């Protein structure tokens, strides 16, 4: 659920590629007073490399947007029934990435690829140690949308990082994990039976939306032509992937009742 009493079915999931990037610029760390300004700093080089893939005003470089399939008119109509993007971002105590981010919230998180730097390490961030570091690391991930292939995006990310890095820096890019995006048809018999079951229990027919997250097993099901019904009873204040992640206890019996009704309804597929 994206708001109390508004059930949703996530019929689309973004895929992802997760990378570890290592930048090297020399044999050992050097005294920044003796060599700073004259030798290549690995952290500076890493920042410049990352600048080649980081979005500008919410838009990734063109090679990372290739193949994107636009959402259907029916999907967009359901999305307009959801809470405004500014409200969703504000509830999380977050700040919009740019002036258009709130208005484009659902397009950006469900139907567009996005890239995030998940961590950076190098030098001495907790000590008073004036060095010019020669090794820097970063983890970054890119979420893919229907129409995009992990192998093609992997090659594009690696190329953009190497092109943006300064001359003399060695850039190593390791792909740690990946999964393709998926999109299921809202009019499949299984989805429609499950939607009817939810309506009987919750009192409202689910909206058909997508999720910005990724579930590799959903891609495995899609590859075998098996419909996927992604839903749940979490709310935005559930703090998913954050400290104190939680589920409202009064939603547990509702979830059990809805699950039971869905399973009973799916018997019609036999």
Tens place of pLDDT per residue across the chain (270 aa):
555 567 889 889 999 999 999 999 999 999 999 999 999 999 999 999 999 999 998 899 999 999 999 998 888 988 888 889 999 899 888 999 999 999 999 999 999 999 999 999 999 888 888 999 999 999 999 999 999 999 999 999 999 999 999 999 999 999 999 999 999 888 889 999 999 999 999 898 898 899 899 988 888 888 888 888 888 887 777 777 778 888 788 888 888 999 999 999 999 887
What distance in Å separates the CA atoms of residue 234 and residue 238, rounded to the nearest whole number?
6
The class (CATH top level) of 8-12+182-269 is: mainly alpha
For residue 197, the SS3 value is: helix
Question: What are the pLDDT digits (tens) for 224-238?
Answer: 888 888 888 877 777
- H-helix or E-strand spanning residue 219: helix 216-223
What distance in Å separates the CA atoms of residue 24 and residue 103, rounded to the nearest whole number?
40
For residue 66, the SS3 value is: coil
CATH code 1.10.150 region(s) in the chain: 8-12+182-269
Structure tokens at 207: 């909206």
- H-helix or E-strand spanning residue 88: helix 85-91
**Cα-based angle 32, 34, 40 (whole degrees, multiple of 5):** 55
CATH code 3.30.70.360 region(s) in the chain: 15-179
Strand-strand pairing, 8-13 and 207-211: parallel
Q: Which residues of 130-167 are buried (b: 16+ CB within 10 A; e: fewer)?
A: ebbbbbbbbbbbbbbbbebebeebbebbbebbeebbee
Q: 18 forms bridges with which residues in the sheet?
A: 141, 177
- SS3 percent helix, strand, coil of the chain, rounded to 5, is 35, 25, 40
pTM for the whole structure: 0.87
Taking the alpha carbons of 63, 57, 104, 235 in that order, is the dihedral positive or negative? positive
CB 28, CB 134: distance < 8 Å? yes
Quote the pLDDT of residue 92: 85
What distance in Å separates the CA atoms of residue 174 and residue 157, rounded to the nearest whole number?
11
Q: For residue 209, give the nearest of 5, 3, 4, 13 by alpha carbon.
A: 13
The class (CATH top level) of 15-179 is: alpha beta
Residue carrying structure tokens 């009873």: 233
Report DSSP state, residue 97: S
């Amino acid at each position: 659920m994206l708001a109390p009493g508004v059930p949703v079915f996530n019929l689309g999931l973004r895929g992802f590629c997760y990378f570890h990037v290592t930048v090297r610029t020399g044999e050992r760390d050097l005294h920044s007073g003796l060599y700073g300004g004259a030798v290549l700093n690995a952290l500076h080089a890493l920042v410049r490399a990352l600048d080649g893939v980081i979005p500008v005003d919410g838009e990734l470089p063109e090679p990372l947007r290739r193949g994107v399939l636009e959402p259907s008119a029916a999907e967009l109509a359901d999305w307009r029934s959801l809470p405004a993007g500014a409200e969703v971002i504000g509830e999380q105590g977050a700040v919009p990435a740019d002036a258009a981010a709130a208005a484009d919230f659902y397009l950006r998180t469900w139907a567009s690829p996005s890239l995030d730097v998940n961590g950076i390490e190098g030098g001495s961030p907790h000590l008073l140690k004036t060095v010019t570091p020669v090794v820097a690391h970063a983890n970054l991930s890119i979420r893919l949308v229907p129409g995009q292939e992990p192998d093609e995006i992997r090659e594009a990310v690696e190329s953009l990082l190497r092109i943006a890095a300064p001359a003399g820096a060695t850039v190593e890019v390791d792909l740690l994990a990946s999964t393709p995006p998926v999109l299921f048809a809202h009019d499949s018999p299984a989805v429609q039976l499950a939607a009817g079951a939810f309506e009987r229990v919750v009192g409202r027919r689910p909206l058909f939306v997508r999720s910005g997250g990724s579930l590799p097993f959903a891609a495995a099901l899609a590859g075998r032509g098996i419909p996927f019904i992604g839903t749940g009873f979490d709310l935005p204040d559930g703090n998913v992937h954050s400290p104190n992640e939680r589920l409202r206890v009064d939603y547990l019996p509702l979830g059990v009742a809805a699950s039971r009704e869905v399973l009973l309804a799916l018997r019609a597929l036999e």
